[in-house]
Structure 1
Amino acid sequence: MKKALSLAAMTVVMASTALTTGAIAADKTLTISVYSFAQDAYKKALYDPFEEICGCDLVIETGNSVERMAKIEANAAKPVIDMAVISSHDALALAQKGLLAKLDTSKLSSFDKLYDAAKDPVGDNMAVGYTFYASSIVYRKDLISIDSWGDLLTNEKLANNVALPNITGTQGPLTLMMLNKANGQNGDYAKTISDIGAAADKIVTFYSRSSELAQLMNQEEVIAAPVGRFAWSRFKSSPLDFAWANPKEGQAGGMNVMVMTKGNGNEELAYQFMDYWLSTDVQTRVAEAMIDSPANKDVKVSDEVAENLTYGADLINSLNIMPPADIIAQREAWVEQWNTEVIK
């Protein structure tokens, strides 16, 4: 009798263990590292619908580029981030350190719908573009006019009223490129960094996050600053009279990309999320919410929505885009000079 009871008890334990193991196996979690802006909008347009479809949980980690890249590098042996969205040059830097997995683009059903520039933006299929963005100068048109990128450093009305991005942020290299162009410099950025250093006392701050800049501008501490188009909604919705500049040198441009960390063990779910994000339906929904501009060329939006985005082949092809490899090759020298001459 005791033996029979023991066998019965063992059967219950084994059944319970099997159920527990099955529950663990069904518990799918994808950890993604993203920019901190527009997270409420992303939740509604992207995260919540995907979780419902996949029956999984998304763990969202945010931060600036430096913080997020450092976390990926610090956990290279045992990744805690499965997938990240970052700038194309930051993706190249991670790829060069062997931290990224090569993407199997056959698992991305919308891959052929992407603009050609988004298909392999850093080489060797280490990343795929999901959004383009223009960068220009947001300014108070009731207080100032902007004709050139050079106005940021030379217009006396902007003294103690202008902000620039930190060189280590996404907007830093783009702003440096356009100031360099306004200075008539070709390829040598040292003089432009020195010019920024000479004007540093008249610059309110060197910002790291677009949310930080929006706060300063809405508090009327800053009246002009370079910013990415993806953050334009923060300013357009303000009661203050902000405008988007069209400088004579043109607009800068960049691309944010999706990457997958090497050896994360969660590749299939990461591919599922990437594929979902790049689909025409989702890219359209994200565009119509004016969160991000589409890299999927099949996306169609109204003229009113398009005005708030970096949208369409004509605009994308007109942007001044610095190759990621050029940024990586020079960034260390830029940062060293920046720390010496600008951050005093």
Structure 2
Amino acid sequence: MKKQIARFIALPTTAFALAACGQSGDNGNAPTELVISTWGFAEDFFQEEIYAPFEEEHNVNIVVDIGNNAERLNRIRQGTATIDVIYLSDYYAQQGIEEGLFAELDRNNIPNIDELYDLAKAPLGEAYGPAFTVGQFGIAYNPNEVDAPIASWADLWNETLNNNITIPNITATTGPMFLDAASTVSGEESFDEDAAFAQLQELKGNIVKEYDRTSDFVNMFSQGEIAAGPFMEMYLNDLLAAVPETEFVTPSEGAYAVLNTVNVVEGSENQELAEAFINWHLSQEAQEASAKAKIDSPVNATVELTEEEAEGITYGEQTIESLHLLNMEYVNAESSKWIDRWNREIAN
């Protein structure tokens, strides 16, 4: 898993389609409809800062298809939705690639890929979509509710945290990451499944329950049911709003990269237009706007932020290039076995 496993994000929402306002081009032709499948958070921001400028420049009417990763990928599998561009966590995007659901990209139409950090350029292979944002999976904790500061993955095994933490379920995007972290804590230099599960067995006394959604973590944390747990930094503002003293830690053994990708769906009649849209979303202008609004952490290396603007997001070459990147192809191949073993040995 270090260089051998994988890495998710999704804000589950009710699936529905939202038509954005179309813009007429100077040539008087009706705008082309471009259907974008995404999660449905920060809709006002995306409409104003990402969709509207592209609509105006390209005479496009953007239609948004909304849902969580699994819902939206299933709509493509089942042929119940006509989608041009799809945003997915790398975990789900890898499934789409293996099932032949995405078109191979012409990277000549997406020159802004060259401006991205290396880990974002081709996380699932050169033929498929880049990452448009990156987050880190580390640890969040309440310093007022623990006996000592938390600085490492190993600290979660401290007996003073008995019945006081949560961990992600193995079926969550970050589940395989924490499985890899457990292997590291066991002392293995490369991923060892048996060592990881044995290490998690030792952690069970500290676990209140597992969480499937970030909102579950936030609720338990804000209500004092837990004091700490593995957490994605991109949702730190939700924790800070509930518990202002919250600390987020990049563990000494290293945090994990959480990548969200963007792809063109196989069979799209608007592939060049879709690639132009991806290129726009990767531009310095669009990436900087997302970062300053605290919507997405930038993967365009030319984005420059002040210390205040960078607070609460994953930013900077040193931080981003230090993140562990798991092999999603390996994770998908092993996931069924891990889920079965997790349910037998770890699940509460």
Q: TM-score range by the shorter chain?
A: 0.7 to 0.9
User: Does residue 223 of structure 1 match 2:232?
Assistant: no
Q: d(CA) in 1 for partners of 2:71 and 2:344?
A: 22
Q: 2:254 is matched by which residue type in structure 1?
A: G
Q: d(CA) in 2 for partners of 1:62 and 1:174?
A: 24
Rg larger in structure: 1
Q: 2:155 is matched by which residue type in structure 1?
A: D
1:227-250, Cα deviation, whole Å (9 max, x unpaired) = 222212222333431001232212
User: Does residue 59 of structure 1 match 2:61?
Assistant: no
Alignment of 1:140-289 (within 5 A): 140-144=142-146, 145-152=149-156, 154-185=157-188, 186-197=190-201, 199-200=203-204, 202-289=206-293
Alignment of 1:296-315 (within 5 A): 296-315=300-319
SS in 2 for 1:150: helix
Decide which structure has greater helix share: 1
Q: Number of aligned pairs?
A: 316
Partner in structure 1 of residue 75 of structure 2: 71
SS in 2 for 1:173: helix
TM-score (norm 1): 0.82
Identity over aligned pairs, percent: 32
1:212-264, Cα deviation, whole Å (9 max, x unpaired) = 32232222222212122221222233343100123221222232211122113
**Structure 1 residues without counterparts, runs of 5 or longer:** 1-24
1:165, distance to aligned residue in structure 2 (A): 1.3
Partner in structure 2 of residue 21 of structure 1: none
User: Does residue 91 of structure 1 match 2:93?
Assistant: yes
Which segment is superposed worse, 286-295 or 66-75?
A: 66-75
* Paired residues of 1:236 and 1:242 also in contact (CA < 8 A): yes
Partner in structure 2 of residue 80 of structure 1: 82
Q: d(CA) in 1 for partners of 2:38 and 2:198?
A: 32
SS in 1 for 2:66: strand
Q: d(CA) in 2 for partners of 1:181 and 1:307?
A: 28
**Structure 2 residues without counterparts, runs of 5 or longer:** 1-28
SS in 2 for 1:110: helix
Q: d(CA) in 1 for partners of 2:45 and 2:162?
A: 35
Q: d(CA) in 2 for partners of 1:179 and 1:41?
A: 38
SS in 1 for 2:280: helix
Partner in structure 2 of residue 11 of structure 1: none
1:277-307, Cα deviation, whole Å (9 max, x unpaired) = 1111010000111111111111111111223
* Paired residues of 1:89 and 1:122 also in contact (CA < 8 A): no
User: Does residue 139 of structure 1 match 2:144?
Assistant: no
* Paired residues of 2:36 and 2:83 also in contact (CA < 8 A): yes
TM-score (norm 2): 0.81
1:71, distance to aligned residue in structure 2 (A): 3.1
